[in-house]
Structure 1
């Protein structure tokens, strides 16, 4: 974010900086840092106007509203290297910080005022009203946009002057949370139409149909690629330049009344989704695989999960901590304290790092892909920037629903967030002496479901676990699971259920800790439900080729990776399918070029389509005329014995260009005593037109003749 770099900055940490250089795929959405900031005070400037400050290349702006500051933290050092003082005069307003490279914008989403901070001077350089309540502002890849979600207005702006660039575009309101992909295209969900509209250089392009009108749509940008989640139909669309891949999600996704929660950006190909009851779903956009993870923390309020490296971080606002799931190990790790119980947890994925901040707290966290944590002291002294100013004590803490806490519980339950300082409500068990249940993870492949589990660390005073068993959603043991059980001392295990159809059905399971309870009766301590389809979305077909035939094409391709794959062929003639690796399609228009796509499909979804073209230009042939010994051969303007475009003199035999064949009037040739309704379109030195097929030495017996196409 700094200006010119001195040679000293290239030494030491510079190599590390290059490794974690600014990723154009991250930080491209309007990452909100809700806080009590004062735009009007910033407009007049803070700090020293003549000073030039250098901020770390790998860093983030964090809200430090408890002392009226916005600070910039160095992610590699875990220290603050810049600050700007603000005065909270606009009480109750929601303020967000949008940051991408040297673009740092403050957005008052209640009034629509946008202001730009110059990171080199730590002062506001520009400010203007850009919309109304609910305004979105996004910046990435050198471009910036404002989106009035209520009015449906999309406007490209200059990220420095904030001035509009070109006319605005109007989409059907209300609009969903938008994002900017790795190429600088804006993607705007339009739920009323069931579409997501790409906007390039300020102009809407052809929309992508994501679902039906009114479906609950959510957008995230994973490694620069837009991913659309349709919670209504439990499907995800991965939008790649070569086409759209569709992945079927577990059916429970559709149970989220407001739709699953997704992060605005994901650092890699894994997209985490939060469903009802704290259920966690992990979509691998590269493999087309979905894992379902059970989480039993009832009555807790969660925010959208985030992913960095192999770990998924789930903000638990009720407990004021991050729950950490290690995808490599398939297990939950020790939670990380992030804020006071019931407080705000702001999470930002930026520069291959995860930033966690409580605006009212004094410490923020910077996590790297290896899970290492750096504690950032936001109020360190001797930091460049504006002077601190006292903030009046707020009489009403807002009961956790002020201008930072997001207005209520998340998808984890319906209980309100407890006031600050009170401990979170613990998970309740019907039998306090029952052991805690294990954590299962379900995924499907090749006609089977695998359910991995990790046992819980058991508290004192509970019955010992005798064994772990696999149950269905109806709490009945699953017949045919292998192995049938794991001993109670197992540190982990995987159940496999084979012989399932890849038809899109979500198979649901629980893993239970079996124990002997009161009166030595067998009882189960069951996990939450996990679900998966019995396969993964297939890969695309390869080596697609098309050879033209009359009104059609002969297609061949190599087998796609996947289980129980059907290939869907789309062309101007319609849709066809096959389970093989070849197909002849008909119904194409001759003498034109047609595009054909082949998509792999199974019950888990579709691959990215593969396209090719086939050119059905007429395959002309050189053929002689015949039966011209009694009279001149008249060249007709059409396929009938009327009109004249020229004539071949009697007894003259020439080699003609035969373009194509057509059906027309029946014609009888007395010389050969043959009759035909087939006419040949010819090109000769005596004129161009049609001759009866009785007068041309074509191969007979088929229509069109061998090597020729039918005339359009």
Structure 2
């Protein structure tokens, strides 16, 4: 990864950071690291203020508060490739770093001051007050926004000058954590209205309704797509470019007092959610499937879970570790030590890597999608790019907040990193000799629930497992489960419970390890509960076609992937439903183009809608006039027997254009001795207007007749 260092091409001072090649496979994602403080203009080891630096693109800024530094880490090499000192007067404040390409902004969330760092010189070029406490700043696709969550204002800012760029928008405060999607659109949750408001190029768009007013809303940008979780109603809204998909989540999601915890950014399509009591839910936004996973370490303090590759990483602040769940294997792996028990754990997703940092610790982690872990020594003096002067460090007491400079035991930096990989201890058991329970995962499909499980590695001194059985949420055996049991030495398996209704009801189950305990009595060691609905959200309909009819359309479409699907047809005339794959809708306005959408729905949620348009332009006909032998035929200006807009001479018969039919005055024609209140709108060489249907050679079969539309 080293750059070209030949003297002919590189005349920079020896202290300049090594030039790292750009990794074309990685993107630039906005990141925010709590606890990072402002960077001073001086980089130790660099002698000239005008020197320029190139940091590794596959990297992240990390706080190194134990020595009053921030460092830039190279994720691929697992090493620090740049260090900078912290401005002393900023210590003790909560500061976040926001980075998007060459835009590097420092946000003091205590004061609302934003500063810009020139990444080529690591120099603060400008600072500006952009809001108050709890200020959010986001950057992406060349745009930057300052969001005052307390006041409810959204202001686009120039990422170079930090000056306002255009007018601000006022939303209903307080605002939720915002995000920027893969197309550069800003999304701001407004819980008080139950909506999420988009902004494109600084302009406010049409709000998207995610729930009811006052619902608890959380936003994740998953693979560039906004996903809004409504913890109050236990639903999730996936905002695709062609429409939204609503997914029903397990009912216990609503039990989370402050809402489920989600990461601000997910690298792939899976959104992990941490619910009440440490329940873990995984939403696959690609297919609308939800899985719930039982945790083996309840009653701990967790941060929001993150997903990278097939693994879910759950920061456990109580133990100072990352709990690791492998979705491919359906099992918990050995946890990864991240910090001291009770310490701060910052986790971000950037450049297809997961970064884990304790601001006061000496070591940070960089994890790749394959699960490999690189431990980065933040205080390593051997920074790539040449020999450097030792960094002078003066210990200064911190105030217990933000980037602290308190070395020594218990304050980061001075303590050795605990050894990684010791399995997390399961919760205390009433019977110490009982085997540890298995790990179940529940998901629904086609009127059934599948509960797959993986046995836990058993410690020494416990009773052997005789078999695995399925229990309901009340610890009662489930009748009708297939199979009824698994042998105690089984490597795992899947229970299936069928014949369930595809509704929004959540079915809860546990998998128990059965054993013979004291006195040979049979006992159970049950897992935590997992729950799911009995189906998953359907896929969108296919091949939607619309054929216009008078004031309506005949619709046909292909069947959606899913179970117990109902189709919801929306048009300007309202909403109708059907379980079939065709429907004729009415109430549309003739001679206009209308948009019609069809959404598949079942108890697990909705698909994204598919849409088409139907043009109800008048299907004109070429017909002749009739009954013109006794007098001239008068063309009327309206469907009434008064006025004149033209005249067809007596005994003249022509072919004319009949546009449409309407009802009006009743008219009696003495020549044919017929009466009708139907009038035809006509276009002739003698004038345009209306003729009684008694004077036009229509079939008189129905109204409107001859394939004509109503005017």
TM-score (norm 1): 0.92
Asked if 1:580 corresponds to 2:583, the answer is: no
- Unpaired runs of 5+ residues, structure 2, are 11-17, 405-416
Matching residue of 1:410:
none
Matching residue of 2:13:
none
Matching residue of 2:40:
42
Distance of aligned partners of 1:338 and 1:431 in 2 relative to their CA distance in 1, 3 Å threshold: same
CA displacement 1:61-93 (0-9 Å, x = unmatched): 111111111111111111111111114434432
Matching residue of 1:181:
181
Asked if 1:201 corresponds to 2:205, the answer is: no
The 8 Å contact of residues 106 and 117 in structure 1, kept in 2 or not, is answered as yes
- Quote the offset at 1:387 in angstroms: 7.7
Matching residue of 1:369:
369
The 8 Å contact of residues 218 and 262 in structure 1, kept in 2 or not, is answered as yes
Q: How does 1:536-551 map to 2 (within 5 A)?
A: 536-551=536-551
Secondary structure, aligned partner of 2:40: helix
Distance of aligned partners of 1:598 and 1:617 in 2 relative to their CA distance in 1, 3 Å threshold: same
Matching residue of 1:160:
160
Matching residue of 2:110:
110
Secondary structure, aligned partner of 1:192: coil
Matching residue of 1:354:
354
CA displacement 1:569-613 (0-9 Å, x = unmatched): 000110011111110000111111111000011111111111111
Distance of aligned partners of 1:495 and 1:286 in 2 relative to their CA distance in 1, 3 Å threshold: same
- Unpaired runs of 5+ residues, structure 1, are 406-419
Matching residue of 2:410:
none
Matching residue of 1:22:
26
Asked if 1:710 corresponds to 2:710, the answer is: yes
The 8 Å contact of residues 67 and 389 in structure 1, kept in 2 or not, is answered as no
Cα distance between partner residues in 1 of 2:344 and 2:211: 33
- Quote the offset at 1:705 in angstroms: 0.4
Secondary structure, aligned partner of 2:299: coil
Cα distance between partner residues in 1 of 2:299 and 2:555: 56
Cα distance between partner residues in 1 of 2:653 and 2:5: 84
Cα distance between partner residues in 1 of 2:22 and 2:509: 45
- Quote the offset at 1:8 in angstroms: 9.9
Matching residue of 1:647:
647
Secondary structure, aligned partner of 1:694: helix
Cα distance between partner residues in 2 of 1:563 and 1:96: 46
Matching residue of 1:412:
none
Distance of aligned partners of 1:524 and 1:242 in 2 relative to their CA distance in 1, 3 Å threshold: same
Secondary structure, aligned partner of 2:247: strand
Matching residue of 1:31:
32
Aligned length: 682
Cα distance between partner residues in 2 of 1:240 and 1:268: 15
CA displacement 1:674-693 (0-9 Å, x = unmatched): 11111111111111111110
Matching residue of 2:414:
none
CA displacement 1:2-61 (0-9 Å, x = unmatched): 99999999xxx9999646x3325xx23x422324x3x4x737888642221111111111
CA displacement 1:422-467 (0-9 Å, x = unmatched): x999722122221111110000111111001111111222221111
Q: More displaced, 79-88 or 527-536?
A: 79-88
Asked if 1:618 corresponds to 2:618, the answer is: yes
The 8 Å contact of residues 297 and 427 in structure 1, kept in 2 or not, is answered as yes
- Quote the offset at 1:277 in angstroms: 1.3
Cα distance between partner residues in 2 of 1:495 and 1:710: 60
Cα distance between partner residues in 1 of 2:462 and 2:347: 36
Asked if 1:310 corresponds to 2:313, the answer is: no
- Quote the offset at 1:388 in angstroms: 4.1
The 8 Å contact of residues 33 and 96 in structure 1, kept in 2 or not, is answered as yes
- Quote the offset at 1:527 in angstroms: 0.7
Secondary structure, aligned partner of 2:596: strand
Distance of aligned partners of 1:255 and 1:485 in 2 relative to their CA distance in 1, 3 Å threshold: same
Matching residue of 1:390:
393
Cα distance between partner residues in 1 of 2:403 and 2:571: 52
Secondary structure, aligned partner of 2:519: helix
Cα distance between partner residues in 2 of 1:499 and 1:350: 44
Q: More displaced, 670-679 or 211-220?
A: 670-679
Asked if 1:661 corresponds to 2:661, the answer is: yes
Asked if 1:319 corresponds to 2:323, the answer is: no
- Quote the offset at 1:158 in angstroms: 1.4
Matching residue of 1:301:
301
- Quote the offset at 1:302 in angstroms: 0.3
Secondary structure, aligned partner of 2:53: coil
Distance of aligned partners of 1:386 and 1:245 in 2 relative to their CA distance in 1, 3 Å threshold: farther
Q: How does 1:519-530 map to 2 (within 5 A)?
A: 519-530=519-530
The 8 Å contact of residues 447 and 500 in structure 1, kept in 2 or not, is answered as yes
Distance of aligned partners of 1:563 and 1:84 in 2 relative to their CA distance in 1, 3 Å threshold: same
Cα distance between partner residues in 2 of 1:488 and 1:88: 61
The 8 Å contact of residues 44 and 124 in structure 1, kept in 2 or not, is answered as no
Q: How does 1:471-486 map to 2 (within 5 A)?
A: 471-486=471-486
Cα distance between partner residues in 1 of 2:266 and 2:140: 15
Q: How does 1:266-305 map to 2 (within 5 A)?
A: 266-305=266-305
CA displacement 1:276-320 (0-9 Å, x = unmatched): 111110000001100000103122100000111111100001100
Matching residue of 1:434:
434
- Quote the offset at 1:519 in angstroms: 2.3
Secondary structure, aligned partner of 2:66: helix
Matching residue of 1:224:
224
- Quote the offset at 1:168 in angstroms: 1.2
Q: More displaced, 271-280 or 82-91?
A: 82-91
The 8 Å contact of residues 319 and 342 in structure 1, kept in 2 or not, is answered as yes
Distance of aligned partners of 1:44 and 1:171 in 2 relative to their CA distance in 1, 3 Å threshold: farther
Cα distance between partner residues in 2 of 1:585 and 1:386: 78
CA displacement 1:322-353 (0-9 Å, x = unmatched): 01111111111110000011001111100011
- Quote the offset at 1:521 in angstroms: 1.9
Distance of aligned partners of 1:386 and 1:496 in 2 relative to their CA distance in 1, 3 Å threshold: farther
Matching residue of 1:413:
none
Q: How does 1:78-157 map to 2 (within 5 A)?
A: 78-157=78-157
- Quote the offset at 1:403 in angstroms: 3.8
- Quote the offset at 1:146 in angstroms: 0.7
Secondary structure, aligned partner of 1:42: coil
Distance of aligned partners of 1:219 and 1:437 in 2 relative to their CA distance in 1, 3 Å threshold: same
Q: More displaced, 212-221 or 453-462?
A: 453-462
Cα distance between partner residues in 2 of 1:565 and 1:591: 33
Secondary structure, aligned partner of 2:60: strand
Cα distance between partner residues in 1 of 2:539 and 2:550: 31
CA displacement 1:508-561 (0-9 Å, x = unmatched): 100111111222222111111100111111111111111100000001111111
The 8 Å contact of residues 262 and 304 in structure 1, kept in 2 or not, is answered as yes
Cα distance between partner residues in 1 of 2:445 and 2:324: 26
- Quote the offset at 1:201 in angstroms: 1.1
Secondary structure, aligned partner of 2:594: strand
